[in-house]
A and B are shown apart, each in its own frame.
Chain A
Amino acid sequence: GESVGLHLPTLSVQEGDNSIINCAYSNSASDYFIWYKQESGKGPQFIIDIRSNMDKRQGQRVTVLLNKTVKHLSLQIAATQPGDSAVYFCAENGVTGGGNKLTFGTGTQLKVEL
């Protein structure tokens, strides 16, 4: 799975199947995690986020799971569609005195096969 620092380049799934993209983070003090979707030639688009006091959060067709014990984050996409094809990044936020210092993973390319 993806790691903040390592990456799984490509995940291929069949249309209609569920997708799971994983991310390992290193900073146990991180308090906020975000998943972004980036389509070719576009900027990252916010998908879903989760605070460190939660272990699960659901959105529309997406669920993020956080396991602080093993410092692992996952993004689940239900009933994957062709429009979900993109690169997915996880990011962890280490809050400092100024701004949100996000550390990004290198991304996972999701390919949806018809």
Chain B
Amino acid sequence: EVQLVESGGGLVQPGGSLRLSCAASGFTFSSYAMSWVRQAPGKGLEWVSAISGSGGSTYYADSVKGRFTISRDNSKNTLYLQMNSLRAEDTAVYYCAKGIRYFAQVSYMDVWGKGTTVTVSS
């Protein structure tokens, strides 16, 4: 069974940093692109970032470009999101999602984790 389990969320002050992790199991992790999607309290879904199967290609939403970094360790079947210079508007549940192909382009997200909550507040 394909499983994605996010961790690393918590309360952080504005300007602070946090690293999210997503542990994957049940599929050949390195063969699939992965994404992060977030949802602010009471709001809709917002795509944040995507990465190809090798990690060689990465993509970001303008709202996080230059502050967040997506990466993956295929030897550990784990996806990461390093979040720096956090703002109140980054407060959200962060989901990791599996793509359906190696490349992140035109890759729909078929399996999602349960999410981890990030709260940016002083």
The judgment on whether A and B are partners is: no
